[in-house]
Amino acid sequence: MEVHPIETITFDKFLKVELRVGKIVDATEFVGARRPAYILHIDFGEEIGVKKSSAQITALYKPEELIGGLVVAVVNFPCKQIGLLMSDCLVTGFQSENREVALCILDKSVLLGSKLL
């Protein structure tokens, strides 16, 4: 197995990334996307509010299964135009051997907007 070097960063740089917990309040098919995707509306609580993101997770999830789920997302990247959607945050996930994306989800309830420690 080939080992790839991992670039190191300082802890101070890591702390600048705002990884927060949000609850998916709406998930719909991203009509017009180049690759199958959903548009997610994620509630990060009173301080941050609801943000939108595109997620290519259609292989493993149905929209109705996502509603109410707690996910981890980066909330302090600049907005990014993805097709017709202006994405406000980046939902995190991991790719399987089959290149399907599994979301970073929480298995316990925490306050919306909580920051990864």
As a whole number of angstroms, the distance between CA 26 and CA 68 comes to 8
The sign of the CA dihedral 107, 111, 112, 114 is negative
Picking from 25, 77, 84, the residue whose alpha carbon sits closest to that of residue 54 is: 84
pLDDT number for residue 117: 84
Question: What pLDDT is recorded for position 2?
Answer: 82
Q: Which domains does the chain have, with CATH numbers?
A: 18-103 (2.40.50.140)
- The pLDDT value recorded for residue 3 is 86
Letter for the amino acid at 5? P
Phi, psi (degrees; rounded to nearest 5) at 66: -80, -30
Residue spans of alpha helices (H) in 32-105: 63-66
Cross-strand bridge partners of residue 87? 80
pTM: 0.92
pLDDT along the chain (117 residues), means of 10: 88 95 98 94 98 97 98 97 95 95 95 95
Of 110, 112, 77, whose CA–CA distance to 92 is shortest?
A: 77
| Residues, the chain | 117
Please state whether 12 falls in left (phi above 0), alpha (psi between -120 and 50) or beta: alpha
Q: What is the pLDDT of residue 15?
A: 92
Phi, psi of 11 (to 5 degrees): -65, -35
